[in-house]
Amino acid sequence: MGVINATPDSFADKKRNIDSERLVEIALRMVSEGAEVIDVGGESTRPGAEPVSADEELARVLPVIRGLAQHTRVLISIDTYKASVAEAALDAGATIVNDVSGLHYDRGLARVVAKRGAGLVLVHNRGRSREMYREAVYGDLMSEIVAELHDSVKLATEAGVPENKIILDPGLGFAKRTEHSFEVLANLEVLTKLDRPLLVGPSRKSFMSSTLGECPPEERDWGTASTVTAAVFAGAHVVRVHTVRPMVDVVRVADAIQQHRIGNV
């Protein structure tokens, strides 16, 4: 999954202007490099980010989604927690909704997904962007993530979303301090008990700074490669990344190693 940030304040992209034609070109290059899904977002959900209106979010994402839908048949995901944004994005050509709130911000989102037969990514999170670190208090991290993702799945299925349309994301960095994100990566296989495909998004995230030192996000790609390898080894089905071509190579080699593990041959 390649990431397209149609935002002026993305933590991972030095270019702050929102140029939909440029973003479509970048996304098409990602497809040529091996991306199988393009995830388009119009509101930053990094810790401390300010929310934007649905109208502003739509103005940012719809030109990108329409442009992509005209030029490629790749799967397009809309990264939003708003039902109105999701519905318009699905009309424009998206087929997946990636909800960073796990259906806790806008309960109407699940009904939109169900009505449209879209795929749904449910991300583990707590609180809003401005306060999520205050919510990063756990007694048993993995058990609590499993329980809370199970609750999100229940919200989705009760609204009519089939389980086979749901993908789960443990939410690295979302309401998780550095040690929590590393613990999730080290124990990702615990989430397989939920019996849903797993998406992991470690790309360029700040939790790696504790080992890499302070550096800008675009210099964290080697660290990202390590986390992607760990995610594949632990059972991730999808990895969400900013630099596609090198991470495709990382995934291919990690997959090959996995296939040669004793018991898999």
Question: Looking at the domain assignment, is residue 264 inside a domain?
Answer: no
Q: Determine the Cα–Cα distance for residues 104 and 132; give it in Å rounded to an integer.
A: 13
Please, which residues have CB within 8 angstroms of residue 236's CB and are 6 or more apart in sequence?
A: 188, 198, 199, 200
Residue 121 or residue 213, greater confidence: 121
Length of the chain counted residue by residue: 265
Say if 34 falls within a structural domain.
Answer: yes
Q: What is the mean pLDDT of residues 166-174?
A: 97
Handedness of CA 89, 133, 220, 121 (dihedral sign): negative
Q: Which of 82, 204, 205, 220 is catalytic?
A: 205
Which is higher by pLDDT, 151 or 129? 151
Residues 177 and 249: their CA atoms lie apart, in Å, by 29
Residue 205 annotated among the catalytic residues of the structure: yes
Structural domain of 129 = 2-259
Q: Using alpha carbons only, how large is the chain's radius of gyration in Å? A: 17
pLDDT more than 70, % of the chain = 95
Please report, for the domain that includes residue 223, its CATH number.
3.20.20.20
240 annotated active-site: yes
Q: Domain for residue 42, yes or no?
A: yes
Question: Does the pLDDT value for residue 64 go beyond 70?
Answer: yes
What is the chain's mean pLDDT, rounded?
93
Q: What are phi and psi of 168, to 5 degrees?
A: -110, 140
Q: What pLDDT is stored for residue 198 in this prediction?
A: 98
Residue 206 pLDDT more than 80? yes
229/214 Cα distance (integer angstroms) = 22
Q: Which residue, among 213, 222, 143, has the nearest Cα to 178 in the 3D structure?
A: 213
Residue 86, domain member (yes or no): yes
- DSSP annotation of 163: G
Q: Does some domain include residue 60?
A: yes
Per-range mean pLDDT, top range of 131-135, 164-168, 216-220: 164-168
Quote the number of domains for the chain. 1
Closest CA to 243 of 6, 12, 21: 12
Taking the C-alpha atoms of 222, 224, 225 and 230 in order, what is their torsion angle to the nearest 10 degrees?
140
Task: Name the catalytic one among 66, 176, 204, 240.
Answer: 240
State both tokens at 11.
């933590």
What band does 131 get if pLDDT is binned at 50, 70 and 90? confident
- Cβ count near 142 (within 10 Å): 19
pTM: 0.93
